[in-house]
Amino acid sequence: MTRAREVIVVGGGLIGSLVAFTLRGAGADVLVLNADRPGAAWRAAAGLLTPDGERLRGTPLHPDALEGLRRWPALAAALERSGVPVHLRPGVTRVQPGGGVACTPGEGSLHPPSVVHAARQGLEVVAAHVQSLIPSVGGVRVRTDMGDWFAGRVILAAGAWSGAFGVPVGAQQGQALLLRGVPGVGARYGPPARGFSRYALSRPDGLYVGATARLSWATTPDAHAARWLRGAARTLVPGADGAEVAAHLVGLRPVTPDGLPLVGPHPTLPGVLVAAGHGRHGSLLAPVTAARVLALAERGVSA
């Protein structure tokens, strides 16, 4: 038997959950189909909201990055009405080459796992692997390992796995460490400390130290990355050398050939909107993506 819904979101990560949360807030009947694969990017994401720190100034992403930063306080407040804090923190401190610290007000960080958890409150989320999307009269048939659904509209937000459905999205592996027992964390190192591609920030689950980047679908930690991350921790945070490793995180960032997210109609599947390919900027760009998908859906754009 085929079950029918108004909107189905394929993917329950940071982007998919926030898109579903936004659509539901606008009154849509939304179902999220979430494969919960190893390597899901949101589980390993830092949660940095730092357009300047990510060197986005002067790039095509900079306006959306600034708009995402502007939208986060209101979105965080809406999410936290679920009773789940998302740990939005303003202000960034960066370690400079050769020593010293520079402060950038107006930027910040949050906790991606908490954002996903808060966004999913009140949503129907079904554990299912989507196998195919088949445009049909009046909508899209969604075939999964748990049976078939039919929806008037489908949002493809499956992260790195979106590429299996005909869009140019691949995987960039990132690894990070969560450390516990670091002196001063939560006070001196509340905002992120940065140096080149390395950064450390205090989060509710420990001191986050990141992050590596390589084109790979591997989802298991490796010793070389662990050594590099330990070195980054020693450089950025005095006292981190002997800290306990609470977790070695591995995530697959969804990347596109030109580095720009795909947000809009699917190129070949009528009734399907795409929200994927945000790379390392998912946390920063998520509010803009969710608002853009809502606007497209309300205008009836689907092909």
Q: What value does the mean pLDDT take over residues 197-210? A: 89
Q: What is the pLDDT of residues 31-70, one digit of tens each?
A: 999 999 999 999 999 999 999 888 899 999 999 999 999 9
- Does residue 190 carry a pLDDT above 60? no
Quick one: pLDDT at residue 281? 96
Quick one: pLDDT at residue 99? 45
Token pair of 190 as six digits: 């509340």
pLDDT band at 137 (very low <50, low <70, confident <90, very high): very high
pTM of the model: 0.92
* Helical axes 282-299 vs 62-80, angle rounded to 10°: 80
In this structure, are residues 87 and 50 in contact, taking their beta carbons and an 8 Å threshold? no
Token pair of 186 as six digits: 């939560």
140: left (phi over 0), alpha (psi -120 to 50) or beta: beta
- Does residue 189 carry a pLDDT above 70? no
Q: What value does the mean pLDDT take over residues 249-262? A: 98
Q: What is the pLDDT of residues 79-112, one digit of tens each?
A: 999 999 999 998 665 444 444 445 555 688 999 9
Calpha distance 254→157 (Å, rounded) = 10
Calpha distance 285→14 (Å, rounded) = 10
Q: What is the pLDDT of residues 281-300, one digit of tens each?
A: 999 999 999 999 999 999 87
